[in-house]
C-alpha cells in the first residue's frame, strides 16, 4: 500500500501567500499606483491587497458591526474599467446570486455584493489556507518529494462533497438549480490550516436554467481540467465537474500532469482525441481499486462516468476504509501548519502591525454611517444575501436603484423592529421617563415618517462631440450625451464626469435646488498626452486597440488619467505591449528592441494556425446581406488569455464569437502582464482570425 505519491510538476502561475481564493485570471501582479492601506471601503476596512488582475482585485478586509462584532472577509473589488461593462456587471450579479445560495462546509461562502465609491464588489468568506497549486510549490521549495496519499484522497473526497451539494441544490420552488462549477482546478481548491477542504470561486458557475451563457464560443475554465465536451464547445452538465475531479485525483496520486502540452490547442487535442494513460502506466504499483475510480471519473463518454459526485465520493471513502488510511482533518491541519509555518508567522506579524491602524480608521466610521442618508454624494450601496435575495436565482440581473436601509436589518422580525425603534424614539424625547417605564404623553408610539415624496432634480447634459459616457457620483449611467438624468438628490454635491475616447475627461461638482432642471453643456478637449517610441526594428503600432496611422515615433492626443495600451509588433518578432496612465500634458517615452521569434516558434505558430483552421473552420455560411454578422476566432500562443470582443467578455482562449460585421476591437488579457488589443475587420458572413502571443 502506497502512503505517499510524487509531487506534481511545477505549477504555471504564481500564488499569493495567504490568499483564500484566487479567481481565474488573477495573478500577484500590481496594477497601477500602490494603494495606501489600510483604508475604509464602505462598511469594510481594507487591510492588505492579496492579488490583482485584469478584472478585479482581492483584499483582506475587516468587517465591523454593532456590539463589537468583528470578522475578516475577502473583498473582490471590480476594477474601474470593468464597471463600464454593463454586460460584465450583470453577469457578476448573476454569479453572486448563484454563489450566495451555497452554504456548505466544503464551499467558500459569499456574504455580500454591492457598490462603494462607484465600484462593485463581492464580500466572501476569509479562509486561512492555501490552494493545491501553492501547496505543491511549497513542497518543492522545501524538497518534500511525496504528496501523502491520505491527504490527496481527503482533498478529492472534500471536493466531491462540495460538488454534490452544489449539483443537487434546489431553488425555493423545489426544482434543482442545475449548478455547474465549470472551473474545478488546483487553483480553486483550498486546504485550510485546520485541515478542511474548500471549493472556491463559483464566479464562473452556471445554472442550467439561466441564459447568461448563451453566446457562442463562451468557453470558461482552465484548459487542462476541461472535460471532452467542454473542450469541444458542447453543452455541459454536472458530469463535466466530475471529470475535472478525476483529473485532479489522477495528478495528486501519480505526481504527473495528465493533460499538458506546449499550447492550448494541443492540450485540447489531448483531451478530445487521445487515449488517456492509466495511473499504473505512470506510477508503478498503483492500487487497482483506486485506478478504477480514477478511470471511471475520466470516461470520455459522460454517460460512462460517475453520474453523481456522491457515487465517486462513496467509492473513495470505501477505498479509504478498506486500506485503513489515516484520512483526518486533524492530521491534514497539522501537516499544513508544518508546511507553511514560516508563512503563518509572517502573516501574523503583518496583521499585528496593521490591526492598530485599521482600528483607528474604522473608529471614524461607526456602522450607522453607512446608511444612505449619511453617505452624502457618495452613496455606498450594499446588498447582503440575508436581506435582498442575492441568492434568488430568479431575481433580475441588475442592482436595484435604491440602496437598502441598514437600520433594523439585523433584527429578527417586524415586531422586534418596531419595539426597538419605538424605544429609541422615546429615548430621544425623555430618557428619564423611558427608564421608569412611563411614556411621554405627547409621544407617538411609532417613529415619525414623512408622508411626502422626496423631491428630486434633473440634469440635461450635452457635449461636443456627442456620445460621451456619463458618470454620476462614480456610477456609470446607461445614457450617453445628449441625455437628461432624472431623480438626482437635492442640496448635496453631485460629482459629474464625462468621458470619451481620445478626449480629456470633464469633471465638475454641482448642487441642485428645489425645482432645478439644470443644463450642462461641455466642449470636450482633445487629449494632451504624448508618447515617444524608440523601437527597433520599425514596428506596426496599435494604440488602444486601433492601428496608429500617423508618425509611429510620436503618438499624440491621448487623454489624461485614463489607462492606455500601446502595442508594437513586427513580422517574425514577439509583440510588446506598454500599458500606462499619465497626467495632463505629460510625455511618456518607451525604448524597446523587439525579440525575434526562433524558427521553431515561428514554424510552430504557423503550423498550429493551419491545423486549427483545418479542424475548426465551419462550412461556408449562406450569403449574408451587408450589415449582417460574421465570426471572430481568437487564439493565443505561449499560454492563454481572457478575451473581450467589442467590450463583451468571452472567457479564455480559444474563443469563437459571432459579432456584427465591421471593424471590432479584440482584447487579450493574459494571466499576468499587460493586455493586448487588435482591431480586425469582419466581413458579413466571413471569419476574421486573431492570434495573440502571450508567452514573450
Q: What is the pLDDT of residues 18-48, one digit of tens each?
A: 333 333 333 333 344 466 777 888 888 888 8
| Strand duo 540-543 + 564-569: pairing | antiparallel
Q: Is the pLDDT reported for residue 526 higher than 50?
A: yes
Q: What are the start-end ranges of the H helices in 287-340?
A: 288-297, 309-323, 329-339
Which pLDDT value is given to residue 34? 61
CB atoms within 10 A of CB 274: 10
Percent of the chain scoring above 90 in pLDDT: 18
- Averaging pLDDT over each range in 218-222, 277-281, 540-544, 548-552, which range is the top one? 277-281
Q: Tell me the chain's radius of gyration from C-alpha atoms.
A: 28
Which pTM was predicted?
0.51
Fold of 529-596: Immunoglobulin-like (2.60.40)
Q: Buried (b) or exposed (e) across 129-166, using 16+ Cβ within 10 A?
A: bbbbbbbbbbbeeeebeebbbbbbbbbbbbbbbbbbbb
CA angle 467, 470, 474 (to 5 degrees): 155
Which pLDDT value is given to residue 10? 39
**Active-site residue among 85, 112, 131, 183?**
183
Confidence of residue 353 (pLDDT cuts 50, 70, 90): low
Instruction: Find how far residue 361's CA is from the centre of its chain.
Output: 28
Pick the CATH number of 4-339 from 1.10.510.10, 3.30.460.10, 1.25.40.10, 1.10.1060.10: 1.10.510.10
- Same topology, domains 4-339 and 529-596? Answer is no
- Report domain 457-523's class: mainly beta
Q: Is 183 a catalytic residue?
A: yes
- Taking the C-alpha atoms of residue 532 and residue 553, their distance in angstroms, rounded to an integer, is 6
**Domain-by-domain residue ranges, the chain?**
4-339, 457-523, 529-596, 620-693
Fold of 620-693: Immunoglobulin-like (2.60.40)
Q: Is the pLDDT reported for residue 455 higher than 70?
A: no
The 554-558 sheet, strands edge to edge: 554-558, 529-536, 587-593
For the chain, the average pLDDT equals 74
Q: Which of 201, 248, 197 is nearest to 220 (CA)?
A: 201
Which pLDDT value is given to residue 450? 38
- Taking the C-alpha atoms of residue 138 and residue 19, their distance in angstroms, rounded to an integer, is 14
Amino acid at each position: 500500500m502506497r502512503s505517499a505519491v510524487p509531487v506534481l510538476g511545477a505549477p504555471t502561475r504564481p500564488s499569493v501567500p495567504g490568499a483564500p481564493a484566487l479567481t481565474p485570471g488573477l495573478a500577484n501582479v500590481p496594477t497601477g499606483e500602490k494603494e495606501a492601506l489600510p483604508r475604509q471601503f464602505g462598511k469594510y476596512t481594507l487591510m492588505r491587497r492579496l492579488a490583482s488582475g485584469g478584472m478585479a482585485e482581492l483584499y483582506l478586509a475587516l468587517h465591523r458591526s454593532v456590539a463589537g462584532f468583528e470578522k475578516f472577509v475577502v473583498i473582490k473589488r471590480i476594477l474601474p474599467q470593468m464597471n463600464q461593462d454593463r454586460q460584465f456587471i450583470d453577469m457578476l450579479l448573476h454569479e453572486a446570486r448563484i454563489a450566495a445560495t451555497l452554504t456548505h462546509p466544503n464551499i467558500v461562502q459569499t456574504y455580500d455584493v454591492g457598490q462603494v465609491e462607484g465600484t462593485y464588489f463581492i464580500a466572501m468568506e476569509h479562509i486561512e489556507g492555501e490552494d493545491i497549486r501553492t501547496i505543491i510549490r511549497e513542497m518543492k521549495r522545501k524538497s518534500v518529494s511525496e504528496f501523502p496519499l491520505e491527504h490527496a484522497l481527503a482533498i478529492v473526497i472534500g471536493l466531491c462533497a462540495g460538488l454534490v451539494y452544489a449539483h443537487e441544490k434546489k431553488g425555493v420552488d423545489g426544482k434543482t438549480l442545475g449548478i455547474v462549477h465549470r472551473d474545478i482546478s488546483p487553483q480553486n481548491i483550498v486546504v485550510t490550516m485546520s485541515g478542511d477542504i474548500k471549493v472556491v470561486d463559483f464566479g464562473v458557475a452556471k445554472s442550467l436554467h439561466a441564459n447568461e451563457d448563451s453566446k457562442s464560443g463562451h468557453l470558461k475554465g482552465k484548459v487542462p481540467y476541461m472535460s471532452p465536451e467542454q473542450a469541444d464547445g458542447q453543452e455541459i452538465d454536472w458530469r463535466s465537474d466530475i471529470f475535472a475531479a478525476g483529473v485532479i485525483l489522477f495528478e495528486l496520486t501519480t505526481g504527473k500532469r495528465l493533460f499538458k502540452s506546449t499550447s492550448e490547442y494541443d492540450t485540447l487535442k489531448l483531451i478530445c482525441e487521445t487515449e488517456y494513460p492509466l495511473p499504473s502506466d505512470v506510477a508503478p504499483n498503483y492500487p487497482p481499486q483506486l485506478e478504477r475510480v480514477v478511470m471511471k471519473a475520466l470516461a470520455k463518454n459522460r454517460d460512462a462516468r460517475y453520474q453523481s459526485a456522491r457515487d465517486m465520493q462513496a467509492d473513495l471513502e470505501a477505498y479509504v476504509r478498506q486500506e485503513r488510511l489515516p484520512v483526518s482533518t486533524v492530521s491534514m491541519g497539522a501537516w499544513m501548519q508544518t508546511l507553511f509555518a514560516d508563512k503563518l508567522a509572517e502573516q501574523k506579524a503583518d496583521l499585528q502591525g496593521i490591526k492598530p491602524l485599521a482600528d483607528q480608521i474604522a473608529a471614524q466610521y461607526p456602522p450607522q454611517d453607512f446608511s444612505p442618508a449619511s453617505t452624502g454624494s457618495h452613496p455606498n450601496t450594499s446588498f447582503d444575501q440575508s436581506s435582498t435575495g442575492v441568492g434568488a436565482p430568479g431575481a433580475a440581473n441588475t442592482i436595484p436603484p435604491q440602496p437598502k436601509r441598514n437600520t433594523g436589518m439585523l433584527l429578527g422580525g417586524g415586531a422586534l423592529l418596531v419595539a426597538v425603534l419605538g424605544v429609541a424614539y422615546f429615548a430621544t424625547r425623555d430618557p428619564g421617563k423611558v427608564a421608569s417605564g412611563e411614556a411621554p404623553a405627547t409621544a407617538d408610539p411609532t417613529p415619525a415618517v414623512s408622508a411626502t415624496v422626496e423631491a428630486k432634480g434633473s440634469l440635461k447634459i450635452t457635449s461636443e462631440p456627442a456620445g460621451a459616457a456619463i458618470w454620476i457620483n462614480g456610477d456609470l449611467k446607461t445614457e450617453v450625451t445628449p441625455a437628461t438624468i432624472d431623480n438626482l438628490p437635492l442640496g448635496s454635491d453631485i460629482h459629474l464626469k464625462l468621458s470619451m475616447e481620445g478626449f480629456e475627461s470633464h469633471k465638475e461638482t454641482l448642487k441642485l435646488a428645489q425645482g432645478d432642471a439644470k443644463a450642462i453643456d461641455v466642449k470636450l478637449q482633445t487629449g494632451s498626452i504624448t508618447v515617444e517610441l524608440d523601437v527597433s526594428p520599425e514596428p506596426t503600432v496599435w494604440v488602444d486597440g486601433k492601428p496608429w496611422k500617423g508618425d509611429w515615433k510620436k503618438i499624440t492626443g491621448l487623454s489624461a488619467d485614463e489607462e492606455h495600451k500601446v502595442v508594437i509588433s513586427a513580422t517574425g518578432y514577439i509583440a510588446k505591449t506598454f500599458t500606462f496612465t499619465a497626467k495632463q500634458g505629460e510625455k511618456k517615452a518607451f525604448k524597446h528592441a523587439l525579440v525575434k521569434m526562433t524558427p521553431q516558434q515561428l514554424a510552430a505558430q504557423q503550423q498550429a494556425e493551419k491545423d486549427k483552421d483545418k479542424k475548426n473552420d465551419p462550412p461556408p455560411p449562406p450569403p449574408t446581406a451587408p450589415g449582417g454578422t460574421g465570426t471572430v476566432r481568437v487564439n493565443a500562443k505561449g499560454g492563454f488569455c481572457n478575451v473581450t470582443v467589442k467590450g463583451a467578455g468571452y472567457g479564455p482562449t480559444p474563443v469563437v464569437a459571432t459579432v456584427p460585421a465591421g471593424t471590432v476591437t479584440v482584447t487579450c488579457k493574459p494571466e499576468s502582464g499587460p493586455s493586448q488589443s487588435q482591431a480586425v475587420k469582419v466581413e458579413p458572413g466571413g471569419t476574421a482570425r486573431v492570434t495573440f502571443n502571450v508567452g514573450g
